[in-house]
């Protein structure tokens, strides 16, 4: 085990040559100064979460040994304290000529958001991520663990990885996090998750986590990935569809999503269309895509054309003519869908619903 000095004992440090004693020619003044090194610390949030201090220190001792072996520093102290989030925070205090450059996935904390529903899920996901971490960064972790994230919604768990970066001047791929709110429950999250994973590789990033679930009060999408730069996941509402189409003659939201996925030209920007459950016989069509731009509006423009039409059939019969007119005018038309501009009023019969033509154009 690496030699450890008590942080409360200056005599040990002076005797070991880590600090030297300087007597200043003034009454009762004695100062310990750094002879050749400084004192630094590493903090690991949520380490040994909700475990006794003795267990935290036992686990931390092994991690401290690995850290010292990788960085060749002098270990001074290890401690476990409770931070402002009521989480256990592990601290490794060491002496060195300069701080050890470390890489941590805690760089993307995002308010404590978690990824996993159970500790077992988190540990299994962490083992998979360690392989991605080593492949993407070229670094060997000295610490990795799971803990319960400090969120206001149902208990969720997140993972962290720490490593020594001996060549800080060399660029390495980082773990980034991107999220987007949706509002309502996603009807087919597995299909959406499949799109996120398969399309990520087109941007040179490797996805490690996706979470399509409620975030405090509303559903949302959150992804974590490794890559050379940040790429955002975007989502946009397209329009509304009724579940019971027996009296409207219109497609369901799922049918509209399938048609949009078939029509969308993937060679431009890959996108996927999916439905969320609004309630009261209404579903909402969304599109999602990866973006390298700062804002969603930098990629596409969604336009609701007027006038609205008295029923789905009237809108659908005009769609071909309107679409051709837009293309003749030089618009980069990506998609055109007949839909409702909002949940229909409860007191209007389905045959009187008004439809509109929603078009998506690329900038």
Q: Would you kindly state where each structural domain of the chain is located, as residue ranges?
A: 1-100, 174-362
- Go through the chain and tell me how many residues it has: 363
Give the Cα-Cα-Cα angle 275, 277, 279 (nearest 5 degrees): 145
> Burial of 170 by CB count in 10 Å (0-12 exposed, 13-18 middle, 19+ buried)?
exposed
Measured CA distances, 212 to 111, 120, 234 (Å): 17, 19, 13
3-state helix, strand, coil in the chain (%, to 5): 25, 40, 35
SS3 call for 7: coil
Helix (H) or strand (E) holding 56: helix 53-71
Phi, then psi, of 327 in degrees rounded to 5: -70, -35
pLDDT tens-place values along the chain, 363 residues long: 544 544 444 444 445 554 443 333 333 333 334 456 799 999 998 888 778 888 999 999 999 999 999 999 999 999 998 877 777 889 999 999 999 999 888 755 454 456 788 899 999 999 999 999 999 999 999 999 998 877 666 678 888 999 999 887 777 888 888 888 898 889 999 999 999 998 888 888 999 988 898 876 688 898 989 999 888 999 999 999 999 888 889 999 999 999 999 999 866 688 999 999 998 889 999 999 998 876 666 788 888 887 789 999 999 999 999 999 999 999 989 999 999 988 888 788 888 899 999 999 988
User: DSSP strand E in the chain: where?
Assistant: 19-23, 30-34, 38-45, 74-82, 88-96, 102-104, 141-148, 157-164, 174-183, 185-186, 206-215, 218-227, 232-242, 271-279, 282-291, 300-309, 333-339, 355-362
DSSP 116: B
Q: What is the pLDDT of residue 107?
A: 57
Q: Compute CA 322 distance to the chain's CA centroid, rounded to the nearest angstrom.
A: 39
Can you tell me the distance from the alpha carbon of 71 to that of 67, in angstroms, rounded to the nearest whole number?
Answer: 6
Q: What is the pLDDT of residue 146?
A: 92
Can you tell me the distance from the alpha carbon of 131 to that of 161, in angstroms, rounded to the nearest whole number?
Answer: 11
Can you tell me the distance from the alpha carbon of 62 to that of 60, in angstroms, rounded to the nearest whole number?
Answer: 5
Can you tell me the distance from the alpha carbon of 58 to that of 62, in angstroms, rounded to the nearest whole number?
Answer: 7
Q: What is the pLDDT of residue 109?
A: 47
Terminal-residue alpha carbon distance, the chain: 61
Q: What is the pLDDT of residue 5?
A: 47
Q: What is the pLDDT of residue 108?
A: 56
SS3 call for 104: strand
Tell me which residue of 143, 174, 130 sits closest to 44, measured CA to CA: 143
Can you tell me the distance from the alpha carbon of 307 to that of 310, in angstroms, rounded to the nearest whole number?
Answer: 10
Q: What is the pLDDT of residue 13?
A: 47
Handedness of CA 140, 143, 147, 150 (dihedral sign): negative
């Amino acid at each position: 085990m690496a030699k450890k000095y008590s942080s409360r004992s200056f005599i040990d440090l002076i005797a070991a040559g880590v600090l030297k004693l300087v007597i200043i020619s003034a009454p009762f003044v004695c100062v310990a100064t750094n002879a050749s090194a400084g004192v630094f610390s590493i903090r690991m949030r949520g380490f040994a979460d909700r475990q006794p201090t003795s267990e935290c220190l036992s686990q931390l001792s092994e991690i401290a040994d690995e850290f010292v072996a990788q960085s060749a520093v002098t270990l001074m102290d290890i401690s476990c304290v409770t931070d402002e989030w009521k989480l256990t925070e592990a601290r490794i205090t060491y002496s060195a000529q300069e701080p050890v450059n470390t890489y941590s996935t805690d760089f993307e904390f995002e308010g404590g958001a978690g990824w996993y529903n159970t500790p077992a899920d988190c540990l299994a996901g962490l083992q998979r991520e360690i392989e991605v971490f080593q492949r993407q960064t070229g670094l060997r972790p000295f610490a990795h663990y799971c803990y319960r994230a400090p969120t206001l919604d149902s208990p969720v768990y997140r993972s962290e990885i720490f490593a020594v970066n001996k060549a800080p001047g060399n660029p390495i791929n980082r773990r980034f996090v991107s999220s987007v709110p949706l509002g309502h429950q996603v009807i087919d999250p597995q299909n959406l998750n499949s799109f996120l994973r398969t399309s990520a590789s087109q941007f040179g990033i490797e996805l490690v986590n996706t979470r399509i679930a409620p975030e405090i009060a509303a559903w949302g999408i959150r992804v974590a990935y490794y890559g050379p730069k940040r790429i955002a996941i975007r989502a946009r509402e397209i329009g509304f569809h009724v579940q019971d189409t027996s009296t409207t003659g219109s497609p369901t939201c799922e049918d509209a999503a399938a048609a949009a996925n078939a029509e969308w030209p993937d060679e431009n920007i890959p996108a996927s269309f999916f439905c969320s459950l609004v309630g009261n016989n209404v579903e909402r069509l969304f599109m999602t895509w990866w973006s390298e731009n700062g804002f969603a509006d930098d990629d596409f423009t969604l336009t609701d054309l007027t006038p609205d039409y008295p029923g789905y059939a009237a809108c659908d019969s005009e769609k071909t003519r309107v679409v051709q007119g837009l293309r003749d005018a030089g618009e980069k038309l990506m998609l055109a869908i007949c839909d409702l501009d909002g949940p229909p009023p409860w007191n209007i019969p389905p045959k009187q619903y008004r439809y509109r033509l929603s078009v998506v154009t690329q900038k």
